C-alpha cells in the first residue's frame, strides 16, 4: 500500500511516500509560513521524483494537531480533499504522538513539547517501548514556567518546543530529564506514514468530513 503522509502542524513540515515498510521519498517544506505556496508543488515534486501519480496513492496520513493553527488547516484541508477525490482511506494522527514515535524501543518515558505561543507549550507523555507510543495521560497545554514541576524524572524530552524554550528550561529541569538531540526534535513525515500503516492494519480510519484539527485550545 502506497501511503502519502503530510505534516504542516509544526514549523518544519514535510511530506513522505511509503510503500509498506519502504520509504520511497521525502520532502522538507522548511517553513510554516510557506505551506500555502510550497505544499502542492512539494507534493508534485515528490510524486515526480518517485515516478508515481496521484492515482497511485492508496491512503493519506496527516498530523491533526496540536500545532500551528494555520498550518493545521492547510494540511487537513489538503489531506481531506485528496482522500475524498481519490476515494482512499484517511488517517489523522496526533502530532505529539508522532513526535514520540520517533523514539521506538525507548526504555524511558518520552515527553513531547510543541510551542503553543504566549510562553505556553503543548505537552504529551508517552511510553515508547512498543511499536506504537502509549499515552501516559491526556495531552495538555500549560505555561512553560510550570514544566519543572510537571515533568518527573527519569524522562526523555523532545519536540520543537524544547528547542524554542531550551534557554528558559536550561538548569531548571531535573538532571535525569534527558534532552533529545536537536536534529531529532522535529516531526518527519516517514514516522507519520509508519504509524498510519499500523492504524490502517487495525482499520482505524476517519471519513474526510469527520476529521477535525485538535487545537487543545480555541482558535482566535
The string of pLDDT tens digits covering residues 114-128 is 999 999 999 999 999
Let me know if residue 218 belongs to a domain.
Answer: no
Q: Do residues 75 and 8 share a domain? A: yes
Q: Write down the residue that cell numbers 516531526 correspond to.
A: 187
28 neighbors 12 (Cβ within 8 angstroms): yes
Tell me: the pLDDT tens digits for 11-50? 889 999 999 899 999 999 876 567 888 899 999 999 999 9
Q: Do residues 180 and 205 share a domain? A: no
Nearest to 124 by CA among 108, 104, 140, 109: 140
Let me know if residue 215 belongs to a domain.
Answer: no
| CATH number, position 19 | 3.30.420.40
Q: What is the pLDDT of residue 219?
A: 44
Q: Do residues 170 and 203 share a domain? A: no
Q: Taking the alpha carbons of 213, 214, 218, 220 in that order, is the dihedral positive or negative?
A: negative
Let me know if residue 202 belongs to a domain.
Answer: yes
What predicted TM-score, i.e. pTM, was given to this entire model? Answer: 0.95
- Domain containing 59: what range? 2-94+188-210
Q: How far apart are CA 116 and CA 169, in angstroms?
A: 16
Tell me: the pLDDT tens digits for 144-188? 999 999 999 999 999 999 999 999 999 999 999 999 999 999 999
Amino acid at each position: 500500500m502506497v501511503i502519502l503522509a503530510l505534516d504542516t502542524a509544526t514549523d518544519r513540515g514535510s511530506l513522505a511516500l511509503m510503500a509498506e515498510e519502504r520509504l520511497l521519498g521525502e520532502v522538507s517544506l522548511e517553513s510554516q509560513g510557506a505551506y500555502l505556496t510550497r505544499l502542492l508543488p512539494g507534493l508534485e515534486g515528490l510524486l515526480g521524483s518517485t515516478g508515481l501519480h496521484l492515482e497511485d496513492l492508496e491512503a493519506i496520513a496527516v498530523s491533526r494537531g496540536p500545532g500551528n493553527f494555520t498550518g493545521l488547516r492547510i494540511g487537513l484541508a489538503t489531506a481531506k480533499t485528496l482522500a475524498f477525490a481519490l476515494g482512499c482511506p484517511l488517517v489523522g494522527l496526533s502530532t505529539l504522538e508522532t513526535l514520540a514515535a520517533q523514539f521506538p524501543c525507548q526504555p524511558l518515558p518520552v515527553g513531547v513539547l510543541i510551542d503553543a505561543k504566549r510562553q505556553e507549550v503543548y505537552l504529551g507523555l508517552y511510553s515508547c517501548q512498543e511499536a506504537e507510543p502509549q499515552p501516559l495521560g491526556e495531552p495538555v497545554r500549560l505555561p512553560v514556567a510550570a514544566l519543572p514541576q510537571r515533568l518527573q524524572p527519569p524522562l526523555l524530552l523532545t519536540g520543537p518546543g524544547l528547542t524554542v524554550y531550551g534557554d528558559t528550561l536550561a538548569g531548571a529541569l531535573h538532571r535525569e530529564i534527558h534532552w533529545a538531540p536537536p536534529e531529532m526534535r522535529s516531526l518527519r513525515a516517514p514516522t507519520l506514514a509508519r504509524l498510519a500503516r499500523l492504524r490502517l492494519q487495525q482499520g482505524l480510519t476517519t471519513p474526510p468530513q469527520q476529521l477535525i484539527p485538535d487545537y487543545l485550545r480555541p482558535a482566535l
